[in-house]
Amino acid sequence: MKKLLTGDEAVARGAWEAGVKYASAYPGTPSTEILENIALYKGDIIAEWGTNEKVAMETAIGASIAGARSICAQKHVGLNVASDPLFTLAYTGINGGMVVVTADEPGQHSSQNEQDNRNYAKAAKVPMVEPATAQESKDMVKVALEVSEAFDTPVLFRMTTRVCHSKGIVECGERQEVPLKDYVKDVRKNIPVPANAIPMRVKVEARTEKLKVYTEETPLNFAEMNGSEIGIIASGVCYSYAKEVFGDSASYLKLGFTYPLPVGKIRDFCAKVKKIYVIEENDPYIEDQVRMLGFDCFGKNLFPFNGEMTPDVIRKAVFGKACETIGTDGSKVVGRPPTLCAGCPHRGFFHEIGKRKNVAIAGDIGCYTLAFTEPYNAMDWCNCMGSSTGTAHGAQQVFNLKEGEAKKRVVAVHGDSTFFHTAINGLINIAYNRSNTITVILDNRITGMTGHQENPASGYTLQGMATPEIEIEGVVKSLGFKNVLTVNPNDLTAMKNAIEWALATEDEPSVLITRWPCVLKKFSPEDKAEFKGAFTEKYCIDPDKCIGCGACIKTGCPALSLDKATKKVSITRDQCVGCGVCAQVCPPKVQAISKEVK
């Protein structure tokens, strides 16, 4: 049976065919769809969203210890969060086979950095595979699980954006039911106190030596000889890119098992060709090995260190020009910076907080990061997932030391899923160390940025099971916060008053929770009951009353547009969802914006 699948869908299919019984992840582009598709195999695989990547890793480890084949997935920065258990798991090993997917993102399409997670395999001393196509994405899951069980180790499964999201024809098979392994208590294997961990370290080195033999023998690493003039060494999607550029004019060493690297195969291949190109994205991971073997090559001395190594990039680097294509006049392209959606519940908060003086705003990773730019200018810094509360506390403590000036207040901003991910830890730190930091939790009732995945506050699991909704306000109060307020962010008066209340609480920490669903969210029965009538109305503008002051435009709503000729604002009806923010900012003496009369 053949199917057209993305790499993410193919990994899910491979996990099912390989008899995986437990899967966990935290959503993050470009890895999100792996778990969403594994979840469709309900009955065969337990699939769950973890509260963060570390927890997802740990639950998959637990499933492996208990005897099941397991898989966990995250984007590249997510593995930073999960690296603590990974490094120790490399020592203790597994019971049921375990695959750890890292979805790297050369080009930073939706990420704050461009790290190369191949380095994690080397640092943690765990084997790594790299698929280049959707077919390999499926097939290599099976191989990775077999390697995991044969060598008593987790296996790092490194993908990149194009492998994750590009589609290909995949030859599918049936599910292999793999019996659960017996669980046998073994503290010498599973408890890495120093007395046990020291000999574990020796075992890791012995395992690596065995893997060095395996990497030379596995068919995942192979050469295609098309002559001796040009030799190309590549892994992952770079192999596909290179073939598109060079075709049969070059020979190839295609690496699919990349830690340990097949030193013997690399040496033999390099000795057979006159000119060597090492084509890889981000770090010179393979190139360093080639040079250590004494071969000169074209690598990062020719190709860029950052971004994707697409065919055009390769052509330009090697041949000095890209393929001819239809030209465009860039001067006629209108700049369209990303913006909050029409009806976004974050708009009201940022519209109000952006007006405040002597306030620094610590941002976080989510849709709301877009508030750093016009028209809000309502974010001062942003680091990583869940960092807003920690960085805000540190900054507030230092600002409080400054004398002779009005004390700057720091506002930490993050979403509901981010709260459970890691921001709660920083919030606990604020409560414990008693700074007067203001924390704002933007509860839009779902994990919005990555495509509406459930989280502990949504009331449902990944596979649709109803579960108790964790009430954020109750959790915050249980941490010891006395000053806690929940507000509808679409009510600008209430939002303004809430911010003033928080700023007036000068000597104690305070927490604001904005609670309104994402405009794109599929409503649950509970949503329909709580937010009855939401997104059912439309607003319109009376052109005779509109004075073109632009106050509504400054809310940043994409449903609003100003005609420069008439100096009148209009609302694109199809985009309007009736949040009413624009009507509230229209000057009282004008009142040009009102609800449509049904």
Global pTM exceeds 0.75:
yes
Running DSSP on this structure, what letter comes out for residue 180? P
- Comparing CA positions, the residue from 530, 518, 527, 526 lying closest to residue 577 is 518
Tokens 């075992």 -> residue: 203
Residue 124's SS3 state is: helix
212, 260 Cβ separation under 8 angstroms: yes
**Domains of the chain, earliest start first:** 2-217 (3.40.50.970), 221-319 (3.40.50.920), 346-530 (3.40.50.970), 539-595 (3.30.70.20)
> What number of other Cβ atoms are within 10 A of residue 553's Cβ?
16
Tokens 């704002």 -> residue: 440
Q: What are phi and psi of 198, to 5 degrees?
A: -60, -50
Residue 220 to residue 545: CA distance in whole angstroms: 70
Residue 80 tokens, joined: 């930073």
Residue 199 to residue 91: CA distance in whole angstroms: 9
Q: What are phi and psi of 154, to 5 degrees?
A: -70, 155
Amino acid (one-letter) located at 519: V
Per-residue model confidence as pLDDT tens for the chain (598 residues): 999 999 999 999 999 999 999 999 999 999 999 999 999 999 999 999 999 999 999 999 999 999 999 999 999 999 999 999 999 999 999 999 999 999 999 988 888 899 999 999 999 999 999 999 999 999 999 999 999 999 999 999 999 999 999 999 999 999 999 999 999 999 999 999 999 999 999 999 999 999 999 999 999 999 999 999 999 999 999 999 999 999 999 999 999 999 999 999 999 999 999 999 999 999 999 999 999 999 999 999 999 999 999 999 999 999 998 888 888 888 888 777 788 999 999 999 999 999 999 999 999 999 999 999 999 999 999 999 999 999 999 999 999 998 766 789 999 999 999 999 999 999 999 999 999 999 999 999 999 989 999 999 999 999 999 999 999 999 999 999 999 999 999 999 999 999 999 999 989 999 999 999 999 999 999 999 999 989 999 999 999 999 999 999 999 999 999 998 999 999 999 999 999 999 999 999 999 999 998 7
Query: How far are the Cα atoms of 180, 189, 463, 496 from residue 466, in angstroms, in the given order?
Result: 27, 37, 9, 35
